[in-house]
Amino acid sequence: MKIKAYCLFVILATSVLTACTTTQPTMTGQNTNTQPSVMIKNGVGVLPQSTYFGVLPCADCSGIKTNLVINHDGTFVMEQEYLGKADKFITKGSYDIGGVDNRYVLLHPEGQADPMPYLIYIDGNRVEFRDLADGEKPNPNQTLNLVS
C-alpha cells in the first residue's frame, strides 16, 4: 500500500513540476527511443498524430476492439466495438500530458454526463491503459499497438 501511495505521489509531484516549467519542442528523426515526442502548441504540450489498435479484455464478451487516435491538436477519438454484441461506442475528448518523460497521458472524454478520464502510458510503439488511482498496470493487461 505504501509503495502505491509513493508511486502516486511521485506521479503527481512530477506532473506538478512539469506543468510549472516551459519546455522546448522535441525533434525526433528515425529514433526508436521509447520517449514520446511532445510538441508545444499555444503553450500546451501535444503529441504527434498517431493511431493505436488492439482488442482489450471484456468481462461479458469476447473482447473490445479498440481504435485510439491521438491528434496533434490536443484531442483524441476512441472507437470501441464489443465483439459478439451490437454495442459500438465513439468517445471524443481532449488530453493532458505529464509524468516522467511525458509518458502519462490523461484522456478527458467530452459529451458524457459523468465522464471518467482514462490514464494511458506511452511505451514505445504501444499504449497501456493504467489504473487511474495508482498508475499501475491492470490485470489483465490492456495494451494497444501503434498502427500509424
C-alpha–C-alpha distance, residues 9 and 37, integer Å: 25
DSSP 58-71: -SSSS-EEEEEEE-
CB proximity list for 139: less than 8 A, separation 6 or greater: none
User: What SS3 class is residue 47?
Assistant: coil
pLDDT of residue 30: 43
pLDDT confidence tier of residue 38, bands split at 50, 70 and 90: low
pLDDT of residue 45: 64
pLDDT of residue 62: 93
pLDDT at residue 15 is higher than 50? no
C-alpha–C-alpha distance, residues 146 and 142, integer Å: 14
Average pLDDT across the chain, whole number? 77
C-alpha–C-alpha distance, residues 124 and 122, integer Å: 6
pLDDT of residue 42: 42
Q: What percent of the chain has pLDDT over 70?
A: 69
pLDDT at residue 107 is higher than 50? yes
| Helix/strand number for the chain, H first, E second | 1, 10
pLDDT of residue 63: 95
pLDDT at residue 8 is higher than 50? no
The cell numbers describing 111, all together, are 459529451
Once rounded to an integer, what is the mean pLDDT over residues 41-63?
A: 83
Q: Which domains does the chain have, with CATH numbers?
A: 2-23+33-146 (2.40.128.640)
**pLDDT tens-digit map of 91-104:** 999 999 987 778 89
pLDDT confidence tier of residue 18, bands split at 50, 70 and 90: very low
